[in-house]
Amino acid sequence: MKKLFSLLILATSVSYGYCQSVATISINNDNSKLTISRHIYGQFSEHLGHCIYGGFWVDPKLAVAKQDRIRLDIVDALKKIKIPNLRWPGGCFADEYHWRDGIGPRTQRPKMVNTNWGGIVEDNSFGTHEFLELCGLLKCEPYISANVGSGTVEEMSKWVEYLNFDGESPTTAIRKLNGHPAPFKVSFLGVGNESWGCGGSMTPQFYTDQFRRYATYARNYPGAPLKKIASGANSFDYNWTETFMKNASLGMVWGLTLHYYTIPTGSWGDKGSATNFSEQEYFATMKNCLKMEELVTKHGAIMDKYDPEKKVAMVVDEWGIWTNVEPGTNAGFLFQQNSLRDALIAGTTLNIFNNHCDRVKMANLAQSINVLQALILTDKEKMLLTPTYHVFDLYKVHQDAKYLPIKLNSPDYVEGNDKIPALNVSASIDSNKAIHISLVNLDANKSIRIRTELKDLKWSTISGQILTSNKLTDINTFENPGKLKIAGFSGAKREGNELVADLPAHSIVVLELK
C-alpha cells in the first residue's frame, strides 16, 4: 500500500519551481502478436476544393515539375512519409461520381457539377487512370469509394471488372483501348460513403441490405481479391454499428468505417477559427479530440460481440480537426490553416489508433492537400508542409511494427473545473529491434518528466526528435514555411534501467531506443 501511494504521488506531483508534472510509463514486450498496420497512416483525396484540381492535378502551364499533370513535389513529399494508401474520389463526392465519365480521351469526357462542394463544374480530366497513375507514383495502395447513393449495382460491378478482370469482356476491351492492357488489381473497395447522410440518408437496416446486394456483385477476380469496406457509423451512432454487425453477412466484409471530426466548439455552425483561439478553446478542442478513444472502444466492443476473432477491421477513414474556413475563401472548399494544435491532434489520434491496433486496421486523415487538416498546402507554384505532415513523418516508424503494450499514469491538464490527461503515448518495436515511443504532451503550460520502465526490452542508446513551437497558434506560411519543423531532441537519458525524459509543454516527441 505504501509503495502504491508513493507511485500515485510521483505521478501527480508538480514541481512549481520548474512548472513540471511527472508521469510514469511501463512498456512491456509480452510476446504480443499485434502489429500496427501501416494502413492506419492512410490519406484521403476528395474532389473537394483544391485537393485534386490545383493540388495533385495542376494546370499544364504551371511552372512546377509534373508527370502528365500530376504535381511531383507533392508526390515526393508524400513518398517521404510512406503513405500506405490513398482514398478517392470521396467522401460525399463518391456518391455522385460516375466512373465512366472519367475514362477515355479527356477532351471527350462530359463535364459535371460538384453539388456537394461549391457547385463548381468539373471536366473529369482526373479519373480512374489518372488516380491509379498517382498511386503508382506514390507507391501506395488505391482505396476506391464506389457510388451506392446515386449509382447502381451494375455500375459498381462494371467498375470492379474494369479495374481487376484479366480477361476478355466488353469492359476490359475499353480499358485496353484506354491504354492499360493489364488489370490494375485494386484491393480496397468502399461500398458507399456516409450512407446515413450525404451518401443516401439511409437507415442502418436499409444500408445493410444494400451492402449485401452491392457487395455480392463486386466480384473477386483471379489474382485480385477485394477488401470490401462497408459504410459505418457517424461518431456516436452505436445503433448503426449494432445493426450492421448483427445483420450483415460478415464473410463479405473486410472493414467497417467510422467517421469522427474534432470540432473545436462542438457545434457544426460556428466551428471556431483554425488560427485564432484561446487556451480555453484549445482545451475544449483537445477534450473533443480525446473522444476518439471512447468511440473506438465502444464501437469496438459492439464489433467484438458479433466478431470476437476481430476479423472485421475498424476503418476510421475520415478523421481530423474541422474548423471554419479561412476568411475570404470559398465556404464549399473547406480550406483551413494548420497550427501546432492540429499537430497535437494528429499525434494524439494516431496514438489512440496504435493502441487499438487489434481492431483499427486502417484510417485516413481528412484530407491530404488544401482541405481540412491537410498535410500540404499549395498556392500556384508555392508549396508548404504543415505541422500535421511532420507528425506523420515522425510516426512513420510505427508502420507495420510490433505493438508494445503500455501502462500510463498521466498527470492531468486542468482548465477551470475541467481536466483531461496531459500525456498520451504509444510504442512499437520494428524488425531491426529498434524501439519507438511517441509521446504527446497536451498541457499548454507545463513540461512533463516521464520515467519509463521497459520490461524485457534491451537497449543501450537513445535518440529523439521533437515538434513544437512557442505558441499553440503558430503555423507555417508561404512566407515562412519552416516555422514549425522537426528538430533533434536531447531531453532524454538513461538512469539505471529507466528511461527519463523531459517533454516541453505542447510538444510531440518520438524517441528511438536501440
**CA nearest neighbour of 190 among 135, 124, 257, 144:** 144
The distance from CA 108 to its chain's CA centroid, rounded to whole angstroms, is 35
Taken in order 36, 220, 83, 376, the sign of the CA dihedral is negative
Give the three-class secondary structure for 306. helix
Q: Let me know if 512 is a catalytic residue.
A: no
Radius of gyration of the chain (CA): 23
Q: Let me know if 168 is a catalytic residue.
A: no
Q: Please give the full DSSP string across 160-196, using - where no structure is assigned.
A: HHHHH--S-SHHHHHHHHTT--S-----EEEE-S-TT
**Catalytic-role residue among 318, 326, 415, 495:** 318
Peptide bond into 181 cis (omega under 30): no
3-state DSSP of 392-452: HHHHHHHCCEEECCEEEECCEEEECCEEEECEEEEEEECCCCCEEEEEEECCCCCEEEEEE
Asked if 503 and 445 count as a contact pair (C-beta separation under 8 A), the reply is no
Strand-pair partners of 414: 419
**Catalytic-role residue among 96, 141, 161, 194:** 194
Distances in whole angstroms, Cα of residue 156 to Cα of each of 145, 146, 341, 366: 10, 6, 40, 24
CA distance 261 to 194: 13
Distances in whole angstroms, Cα of residue 139 to Cα of each of 78, 124, 157, 387: 10, 23, 26, 23
What counts of helices (H) and strands (E) characterise the chain? 11, 29
Asked if 503 and 437 count as a contact pair (C-beta separation under 8 A), the reply is no
Residue 307 CB-density burial (10 A; 0-12 exposed, 13-18 middle, 19+ buried)? middle
3-state DSSP of 370-395: CCCCCCEEEECCEEEECHHHHHHHHH
Active site residues: 194, 318
